[in-house]
Amino acid sequence: MALEFTYSSKKFDDMISVEEALAIIENHTVDLGSEEIPYSEANGRVLDEDILADRPLPPFHRATMDGICISLKDWETGMRTFPVFGEQFAGAPQQTLKLGSCMEIMTGAVVPENANVVIRYEDVTIENSIATVHADSITEMMNIHLTGTDAEEGEVLVEKGKRISHGDIGILTSVGKTTVRVKEHPKVAIISTGDELVEPEEKPLPHQIRKSNVYTLCSLLRDQGLEFELFHINDELEEIKKALDRILNDFNLILLSGGVSKGKRDFIPEALESHGVKKHFHRIKQRPGKPLWFGSNDRVTVFGFPGNPVSTIACYTVYCRHWLNRSLGLPSNAIHAQLTEDIHFPKELTFFVHVALSYEQGTVKAKSLRGNGSGDLVSLSKADGFIELPADQSHFKKGEVYRVYLF
User: Could you read off the pLDDT of 382-399 as tens digits, one per residue?
Assistant: 899 999 999 999 999 999
Other Cβ atoms closer than 10 A to 126: 14
What class does CATH assign to 62-145? mainly beta
**pLDDT more than 90, % of the chain:** 77
Length of the chain: 407
Instruction: Report pLDDT for 87.
Output: 97
Quick check: 292 and 284 in contact, CB under 8 A?
A: yes
Instruction: Report pLDDT for 270.
Output: 87
CA-CA distance, 388 to 293, in Å (whole number)? 20
CA-CA distance, 62 to 118, in Å (whole number)? 10
**Alpha-helical runs (H) found in 341-399:** none
Q: What is the mean pLDDT of the chain?
A: 92
Domain ranges of the chain: 3-35+185-331, 42-54+157-183, 62-145, 335-406
The pLDDT profile of the chain, 407 residues, written as one tens digit per residue, is 566 666 554 566 789 999 999 999 999 999 999 999 999 999 999 999 999 999 999 999 999 999 999 999 999 999 999 999 999 999 999 999 999 999 999 999 999 999 999 999 999 999 999 999 999 999 999 999 999 999 999 999 999 999 999 999 999 999 999 999 999 999 999 998 877 888 888 898 888 888 888 999 999 999 989 999 999 988 888 888 999 999 999 999 999 987 676 656 678 888 899 999 999 999 999 999 999 999 999 999 999 998 888 899 999 999 999 999 999 999 888 899 999 999 998 888 999 999 999 999 999 999 998 765 555 567 788 899 999 999 999 999 999 999 999 98
Q: How many CA atoms lie within 13 A of 22 on its CB side?
A: 13
Domain covering 3-35+185-331, topology? Molybdenum Cofactor Biosythetic Enzyme; Chain A (3.40.980)
Q: In sequence order, what are the residues at sequence separation of 6 or more whose Cβ sits closer than 8 angstroms to the Cβ of residue 161?
A: 46, 47, 48, 329, 330
Q: Are strands 156-158 and 144-145 parallel, antiparallel or unpaired?
A: unpaired
Instruction: Report pLDDT for 5.
Output: 63
Fill in the amino acid letter for 174: S
Quick check: 231 and 255 in contact, CB under 8 A?
A: no
The CATH homologous superfamily to which domain 335-406 belongs is MoeA, C-terminal, domain IV (2.40.340.10)
Question: What strands, in cross-sheet order, belong to the sheet with 81-88?
Answer: 117-120, 67-70, 102-105, 81-88, 130-133, 124-127
CA-CA distance, 280 to 278, in Å (whole number)? 6
CA-CA distance, 404 to 354, in Å (whole number)? 9
CA-CA distance, 177 to 158, in Å (whole number)? 12
CA-CA distance, 16 to 303, in Å (whole number)? 16
Instruction: Report pLDDT for 211.
Output: 82
Other Cβ atoms closer than 10 A to 177: 21
CA-CA distance, 374 to 289, in Å (whole number)? 8
DSSP class of 121:
G
Instruction: Report pLDDT for 264.
Output: 61
Burial 31-55 (b: 16+ CB within 10 A, else e): ebeeeeeebeebeebbbbeebebeb
Strands, E assignment, 278-384: 278-282, 286-287, 293-296, 301-305, 334-339, 343-344, 350-360, 363-368
